[in-house]
Amino acid sequence: MLSLIFACAAWAAPGDTLHVGSKRFTESYILGEVLTQTAAPYAKAEHLQGLGNTAIVLAALQAGRIDVYPEYLGTIDLEILKHAQAAPLEQIRRELAPMGLGVAVPLGFNNTYALAMRGGPDGLHKLSELAAAPKLRLGLSHEFIGRADGWPGLAKLYGLPQRPEGLDHGIAYEALMQRQVDVIDIYSTDAKIRQYGLRVLDDDRAYFPRYDAVLLYRLDAAARFPAAWKAITQLEGRISAADMIAMNASAEIDGQNFAHVARDWLAAHKPLAAAGAASATTAQSTAPAQVRDGLMAKIFDKSLWTLTRQHVTLVLFAVVMACLIGVPLGVLAAFFPRLRQVVLAATGVLQTVPSLALLALLIPLLGTIGTVPALVALLVYALLPIVRNTCTGLLQVPAGLRLAALALGLRPFQRLVHIELPLALPVILAGVKTAAVMSVGTATIAAFIGAGGYGERITIGLALNDNDMLLAGAIPAAVLALLTQGAFELLERLASRAPSQGM
C-alpha cells in the first residue's frame, strides 16, 4: 500500500524540475516566486508554496522534495544548526555540507524579528520595559513561541513574566488594532508596520541577531540546473529592504498576487541594469495598478482546475485505500469478538490525533513532504467510519439467514461474499460516505505540506488575512463535499434496492 502512495508521489515530482519552496508568510511566498520566475527561462521550475514552518521546509529540502528556498541567516545559525551564538558564514557552510546543503546568494536585506505595539504618545518604547507590564497581552506566532531564537530566549534575557498566546502571523496585525492583544511579533520588512503606525520596541539588550535573507539549497542543485542556478546567483545583493517592504505592501495592502508582484519587480530590475536600477518603491509606483480581484474572480481563476484535480485525487486515493484496509478490519471485528474492541479502539485513537500533529510526525517518519504524508494522514482519518460501519452492518445480518446459508452448505467465505456483505452494503456505504465527506474537508491541510488542493488558497488567505481568498478555498471544498454526499446517497439507494429486487 505504501509503495502505491510513493509511486503516486514520484509521478507528481519529476526529477527534471527545479523545485522552489517557501514558508507560510507573505515575504517567503514572494521570494519563492522571484526565484521560480528567475529560473524558469533556463529550466522547468515549480514553486511549492507555503509549505509550513522552518522544520517542515527543511525536511522537504533534506528529502529532495525541494531544491532551494529563501531562508534567513539567523534562522540557519540559531534554529537549524542550534548555535548558542552567531557563527561565521564559513563555519555555517562547513556544518551544512555533511547534510548535503549549502547557503549562498545573500539577497541584500536584513529581516529581523521585533516586537511591536499600537502607536501613540504614551506606552512602552523598549523591550526591557515589558518586564514591568505583566498584564499586557502578547499574541505571538506559533513558530516564534517555539524557536530557540524566539520567545524562550527573549523572555529569559529580559525577565518577561507574560504568557503569550499563539496567533497566526497573517491575522496578528488586525488582532492588535482591534485591541485583542497588546504586543505582537513582527518582521522588520512587514509592510503593515507603516500602514498601521505601529511602534517597534527597541531591542535594548541586542537579543535578536541579523536575519540576512539568503538561499538555503541542496548542493547538487547547482550541478543539475547550471543555467538556472547561474541566473539565480545574479540576484545576489539586488533586493534592498525598501524593495522588500514595497513588494510585501503590493501583496498585503494592494491585493496583488505573489506571481504578479515578483514579475513586476523582475521587470524593473534587469540583471544588466542592476547597478543603475531604481528602488522597487519607485519602480513599482510607475507600474499600472492591479485591481484587487473579487471573490468570484478568485474562485474561478486559472488555478481552479489544477487545485480541484489535486484535491479530488487526494480524497479518491485516500478513501479507496481506506476501504481496502478498513473493510477487512471491519470483517475481522465482526467475526472475532476478542479483536472487536481492539480494532475499534485503535482506529478511534488514530481519529483523535490532531491533523497538523500527525503530519508533523509523518514527515520525518516517511522522509518526505507532499503527497505521501498527506495520503497517509487522510487514510488514517478515513478508517474509523469504514471499520465501524462494516462491523455494524455485518452484525445486523439476521441470524436466521446465517443459519439458512449454513443449512445449504455454504462455506464461511461464500456466506460472507454472497449473503452477509451484500446485506451489509447499505451500512458500509454509509460509512464510506462519511469517510469521503470528512476527507474532502480534511484534505485542505495537505497544502500545509505542499500537496496542493483547495487548502493552498486557504493558506494564502491566512498569510494575507484575505477573507475572499479564504472563501475561494473553502467554498469549492464545501461544494465538493456536497457533491460527494449526493453521489453516495444515490449509491445507497441503489444498494438498498438491490437485495429487495433479488428477493
The tens-digit pLDDT sequence of the chain (503 residues) is 544 444 444 444 446 899 999 998 899 999 999 999 999 999 999 998 888 788 888 988 998 889 999 999 999 998 899 888 888 999 999 999 999 999 999 999 999 889 999 987 677 899 999 999 999 999 998 889 988 788 999 999 999 999 999 888 878 888 999 999 999 999 899 988 888 889 999 999 989 888 999 999 999 999 999 999 999 999 999 999 999 999 999 998 888 889 999 999 999 987 533 333 333 333 333 444 455 568 898 899 888 999 999 999 999 999 999 999 999 999 999 999 889 999 999 999 988 888 877 887 887 788 777 788 899 999 999 999 999 999 999 999 888 887 887 777 888 888 888 888 998 998 999 999 999 999 999 999 888 777 889 988 888 887 777 788 889 999 999 999 999 999 988 887 876 675 555 54
- Which pLDDT does position 160 carry in this prediction? 95
State the cell numbers at 315.
480524497
Identify the three-state secondary structure at position 200: strand
Among left, alpha and beta (phi > 0; psi -120 to 50; other), residue 459 is: alpha
Q: Residue 111 gets which letter from DSSP?
A: -
Strands 199-200 and 113-117, by their bridges, are antiparallel
Return the pLDDT at 50: 84
Q: Give the per-residue pLDDT at 313.
A: 94
Statement: the pTM of the whole predicted model exceeds 0.85 = no
Q: For position 499, what pLDDT does the model report?
A: 53
CA distance 55 to 51: 10
| Residue 126, pLDDT score | 93
Backbone angles phi, psi at 290, to 5 degrees: -95, 130
Tell me, what's the pLDDT at 195?
A: 87
Name beta bridge partners: 114. 186
**CA dist., res. 174 & res. 408, Å (int):** 72
Q: Is the CB of residue 201 less than 8 Å from the CB of residue 117?
A: yes
Query: In this predicted structure, what is the pLDDT of residue 495?
Result: 66
Contact, 85 vs 157, CB < 8 A? no
Q: At what angle do helices 467-502 and 421-442 cross, to 10 degrees?
A: 180
Contacts of 315 (CB under 8 A, 6+ apart): 378, 436, 439, 440, 443, 480, 484
Report long-range pairs for 479-485 (Cβ below 8 Å, ≥24 apart). Answer: 480/308, 480/311, 480/312, 480/315, 480/440, 480/454, 481/437, 481/440, 481/441, 484/315, 484/433, 484/436, 484/437, 484/440, 485/433, 485/437
**Residues 47, 52: Cα–Cα separation, whole Å:** 14
C-alpha cell at 120: 501613540
All cell numbers assigned to 217: 539549497
